[in-house]
Structure 1
C-alpha cells in the first residue's frame, strides 16, 4: 500500500507532545500556535487511522497505538535529524580553524562525541576543544581565544554575542539510594543528613543558593565543593544529600547506582545550556553545530537520564 504523505513537522510535533504530554509546551518549543500543533496531531492520527493520545488525561498520555507509533517513528526521526546535521556540518566546515570552549559538565558525555565527529569531518583543519567556566565565555569570545562556547545560563552574557539555546537542565534532589526519608523532610530538618553545597564561585552554586533563599530555606553551611563528582561520591556513601542537575548526574555515572534523584519539593527551577559566539561568526555554521550538539546531548544525556527517571521527560528537554 502507498505510504501516507506525512509531514516531518507533524512527526516532530507528535514526538514532542509524547515527550512532554503538553500541546502548549510543544507549541512553544516549535514556535507554532497551539492550534497548529493540534492540527498536526489530528492530521497524523487521521493519516495513520489510529488515536495516538488519550486527551482525557493531563498531561496527555499515549494510547497503546501511540506507544507503538512512537517507538518506530522516533527511530526514523533520529536518523533524519542525524543525516541533516551531518550533511550540514560536512558542507559548512570548510574553515581552516575552529576553537570551541565547553563547560566541564560535558567532558565525559558530549565533548568526546563532538571531538570524534568534528575530527573526522575536518581532517585538514585545526581543531581545538577546551574546558571553560561559563562566566569566562564572554571574555574568551571577545578576545578571540575561542570561536564558540557551550555554557550554562547565558542570560547575563554580553548582548553583542549571538546565542542559540540547546538544553533545559532542571535542578533535582540527589539522595542516597535507599534513604527512608522524604525529600521535603531534608529541607525541614537539617539534622537528618548534611546538605552538600556547590561553591558559590560557580554559577550553579549561586543559582541553588538564590532559589533556597527565595523559598525561605536555610541550611547549615558545613560542606562546600567545586565538583559534582565529589558531591556524588559523598551522596553514594550515604553521608549527605544535594541539589544537582541531571547533566551533573550523568557526568558522574560511576556513583549513580548508589544515588537516587527526586523532583525538588518546592517550586521547580532549571538552568539553560546555550551555544555562544561572536556576532560576526558564520550563522549557518553556528546553527549547524547547535543541531549537532542537540543530537549528541539527546543521545548521551537526555535519553539515558529520562529512561532512568521517566518523570524527567517533561523537564530535561532540548531547546530549539
Structure 2
C-alpha cells in the first residue's frame, strides 16, 4: 500500500519546526530565520494540520515538544540533512581548472573546521597543487600581503593589501570568562582578587581587548601575557585568573570548559570579525564558494553549540554574509 501523500508539507515548515525545537521560543525562531512571529506560528499550524498532530506544547515556556513532536524531530532533522547534503553536492566546488591554491586558516578552527574544509576542497581538485597553512591572523594577513597565500580565513586586522577583498564569515563578540562559580555582581571590579590573563598583544584579539580596557579606563597589572588559548583556558579553569575572550575561543577550551563560566562583557559591546581575505587577482566564484563552505562548517561546529551553552549571546555570535 503506498504511503499517504503529505500534501502541504513544506521545507520552510520543517526548518521552522527544527529551529523551534531547539530555541523553545517563537520570537527566537523568527529572529534566527528572518521571519515574523506570526509567520512562524502559521508554519507550525500548517505542519500540525498536515501531520494531524500537535508537535509543540504551546502552554509551556519555553515551549517543549509533545510526544509526537519528539518522535517526529529526528525524522525532520534527517530529511533536512539529506536536502542540505544534496544542495552541497549540486554546488560542489570545481577546482579542476586550478593549477595551484594556497589557503591559510586561523588556529581557532584547527580541530573541527579545517580538516573538514580541506577534505571538501580536495574533492574538487584533480591536478591542483594545494597548500594549507594555519597560524595567527596577523601572520596570515602578512603572508597574504607577501603573496605567499592566495586567501586566508582569519580575523579582520583592519590592515592588509589595499586590493585584498574580504568576504564576511562570522561575528565573534568578546565575552567575560571567569572560574566557575565566581560572583561578578560587582562587574569587573569584583575580579580584583584574580589575575587578568592577557592575550599576546601581537594578536588581533590582544590588541582589541587592550583598546577596550583603555576606553573603559582600566589599567590592569601586566602579570600574564600568553598566545596560547589552551593555556589561558587552563588558568581560568584552575581559579588563577579571568580573561576576556570570544565564544569561538571559549568553545575550544576542551576539558577545561566545564570549570569556566561565561558572561556578557560589561559596558561596550565589541566583536572581532572573521573573514575570508583574498588577493585581488581572484574572481568572485571560487572565494565565494569557499566562504560559503566555511560558514556552513562554522555554523555546525561552533554557532549551534554556542546557542545551547550561551543563549544570552542571541544573534551577536552569528554567521555573516550568507544568502
Q: TM-score range by the shorter chain?
A: 0.7 to 0.9
The alpha-carbon distance between structure 1 residues 314 and 16, as it changes in their structure 2 partners (threshold 3 A), is farther
Moved more, 89-98 or 162-171: 89-98
Aligned to 1:162: 165
The alpha-carbon distance between structure 1 residues 189 and 53, as it changes in their structure 2 partners (threshold 3 A), is same
3-state SS in 1 of match to 2:218:
coil
Q: Check whether the contact 1:160–1:279 (CA below 8 A) recurs between aligned residues.
A: yes
3-state SS in 1 of match to 2:91:
helix
Q: Is 1:21 paired with 2:28?
A: yes
Q: Check whether the contact 1:186–1:192 (CA below 8 A) recurs between aligned residues.
A: no
Aligned to 1:31: none
Aligned to 1:195: 196
Aligned to 1:44: 43
Moved more, 185-194 or 287-296: 185-194
The within-5 A match list for 1:146-225 is: 146-153=149-156, 155-177=158-180, 179=181, 181-185=182-186, 187-225=188-226
Aligned to 1:248: 249
Q: Check whether the contact 2:153–2:275 (CA below 8 A) recurs between aligned residues.
A: yes
Moved more, 48-57 or 13-22: 48-57
| TM-score after normalising by structure 1 | 0.79
The alpha-carbon distance between structure 1 residues 292 and 214, as it changes in their structure 2 partners (threshold 3 A), is same
Find 2:115's aligned residue among 105, 112, 128: 112
Q: Hey, what's the Cα distance between the residues in 2 that align with 1:48 and 1:202?
A: 49
- C-alpha displacement at 1:39, in angstroms? 7.1
After superposition, give the CA deviation of every residue in 1:236-276 in whole Å (9 maximum; x if it has no partner). 22211111112112323132232222222334332221112
3-state SS in 2 of match to 1:241:
strand
- C-alpha displacement at 1:289, in angstroms? 1.4
Q: Is 1:280 paired with 2:287?
A: no
Aligned to 1:83: 86
Q: Hey, what's the Cα distance between the residues in 1 that align with 2:148 and 2:12?
A: 38
The alpha-carbon distance between structure 1 residues 38 and 258, as it changes in their structure 2 partners (threshold 3 A), is closer
- C-alpha displacement at 1:7, in angstroms? 5.6
The within-5 A match list for 1:64-79 is: 64=65, 73-79=76-82
List runs of 5+ in structure 2 lacking aligned partners.
none
3-state SS in 1 of match to 2:292:
helix
Q: Check whether the contact 1:99–1:127 (CA below 8 A) recurs between aligned residues.
A: yes
List runs of 5+ in structure 1 lacking aligned partners.
28-33
Q: Hey, what's the Cα distance between the residues in 2 that align with 1:13 and 1:163?
A: 31
Q: Check whether the contact 1:199–1:205 (CA below 8 A) recurs between aligned residues.
A: yes
After superposition, give the CA deviation of every residue in 1:145-196 in whole Å (9 maximum; x if it has no partner). 212210113554545322222122222221222x3x3234461145321111
3-state SS in 2 of match to 1:21:
helix
After superposition, give the CA deviation of every residue in 1:43-97 in whole Å (9 maximum; x if it has no partner). 523532479999999xx96564697577654554344333323442344554232
The alpha-carbon distance between structure 1 residues 55 and 215, as it changes in their structure 2 partners (threshold 3 A), is farther
Q: Is 1:309 paired with 2:316?
A: no
Q: Hey, what's the Cα distance between the residues in 1 that align with 2:220 and 2:165?
A: 38
- C-alpha displacement at 1:12, in angstroms? 5.4
The within-5 A match list for 1:281-300 is: 281-300=282-301
- C-alpha displacement at 1:42, in angstroms? 5.3
Q: Hey, what's the Cα distance between the residues in 2 that align with 1:14 and 1:206?
A: 42
The alpha-carbon distance between structure 1 residues 62 and 218, as it changes in their structure 2 partners (threshold 3 A), is farther
